[in-house]
Amino acid sequence: MTGLVARGLTLSLDGRTVLHEACVAVAPGEVVGVIGPNGAGKSTLLRVLSGIQPADAGEVMLEGRALAGMTPGDRARRLSFLPQEGEPPPPMRIEDLVALGRLPHRAARDGARDRAAVECALAETGLLDLRDRPASQLSGGERARLRLARALAVEAPYLLADEPVAALDPAHALAVMASFARLARAGMGVAVVLHDLTLAGRFCHRLVLMRDGRVVAQGRPAEILTDGAMRAVYGVTVRRVGDAVVPWSLTDGRADDERTGS
């Protein structure tokens, strides 16, 4: 079986069930958006898919092999994980930081291939001109691109990105999502946690909708971003601009005011 396939993932942390029989699949060449309210288990799902958080039950298969049976290095070369932004990066040169993405390949000691991967990652994220700058001088948007570049330098066939556009202005967010689309066209499987339903509807081939640790629906964006589902899961009503979905007001009416006129 191709792709990254998870079945029946269940996980409790501190006595709370954070994942309940979650099933999800990411095929090569597609961008899968993971959406849902805060605390729905999206980040936990990604951590389990990446292999850094073992599940209590269920299994993750990567191209037909159980993820749990792989060596950490083997897994790291196939799955690249981009967690939510944590500590600021150290003041290393940007190119040196991106090159750390090659750490899982260090045993191969292929300098030319490493350099090419770093070059590609810098080009894809538009950081070629900034390569000699210390990372500490970057703006928030540039830092997000740097983190993505590090994840791309791994050259893994699958990328798991947790809210990569959360802190970005619209232009940077569009650029990152366009990168994912391009990478998917080149054959990469991408799973991305998103809060922006407009971006999710526009750039994702499929969406996985989560609530309370469960996958409540998955399918093409048009099938998932329905008025009913948005009301039931997020408690919001939506308006549509072309294919895009814009959250408009809370179902209990709290977000309404005279200016929005709803």
Partner 1 sequence: MIDRRDYPLIAALAGGVLVMLVLSLAWGDSAVSLPSALRDLMAGRHSVGAIIVGQLRLPRAILGVSIGAALGLCGAVMQGYLRNPLADPGLLGVSGGAALGAVLVFYTGLAGVSALLLPAGGLMGALLAVLLLLGLVGQGGTLVLLLAGAALSSFAAALTAMAMNLMPSPYAAYEVMRWVMGSLTDRTLTDVSISLPGTVAGCLLMLTTARALDALALGDEVAESMGFRLRGLSGVQTRVVVGAAVAIGSCVAVSGAIGFVGLVVPHLLRPLTGHQPSRLLLPSALGGALLLLVADAAVRLLSGATEIQIGVLTALIGAPVFFRRVIAMRRSQA
Least distance in Å: CB of 243 to partner 1? 33
187 makes contact with partner 1 (CB under 8 A): no
75 makes contact with partner 1 (CB under 8 A): yes
By rule CB under 8 A, what count of residues binds partner 1?
A: 30
Segment interacting with partner 1, rule: CB under 8 A, options 94-102, 113-121, 186-194, 232-240: 94-102
Rounded to a whole number of angstroms, the CA Rg of the chain reads 19
CA-nearest of 179, 236, 230 to 207 is 230
14 makes contact with partner 1 (CB under 8 A): no
User: How many Cβ atoms sit within 10 Å of the Cβ of residue 13?
Assistant: 11
Rounded Cα distance, 21 and 204, in Å: 23
Nearer to partner 1, 83 or 141 (CB): 83
Site residues for partner 1, 137-156, by CB under 8 A, read: 150, 154
Question: DSSP characters for 188-218?
Answer: -EEEEE-S-HHHHHHH-SEEEEEETTEEEEE
189 makes contact with partner 1 (CB under 8 A): no
Nearer to partner 1, 100 or 222 (CB): 100
Q: What letters, b where the CB count within 10 A reaches 16 and e where it falls short, cover 111-125? A: eeebeebbeebbebb
Q: Which amino acid is at 201?
A: G
Least distance in Å: CB of 69 to partner 1? 15
Least distance in Å: CB of 74 to partner 1? 8
φ, ψ dihedrals at 216, nearest 5°? -90, -20
Least distance in Å: CB of 81 to partner 1? 4
CA-nearest of 63, 234, 70, 235 to 158 is 63
Nearer to partner 1, 107 or 241 (CB): 107
φ, ψ dihedrals at 232, nearest 5°? -70, -40
> Applying CB under 8 A, which of residues 1, 57, 103, 246 lies at the interface with partner 1?
103
38 makes contact with partner 1 (CB under 8 A): no
Least distance in Å: CB of 95 to partner 1? 10
In the structure encoding, which two tokens stand for residue 232, read together? 């039931």
Interface residues with partner 1 (CB under 8 A) are 47, 50-52, 71-76, 79-81, 83, 86-87, 89-93, 96-97, 100, 103-104, 106, 134, 150, 154
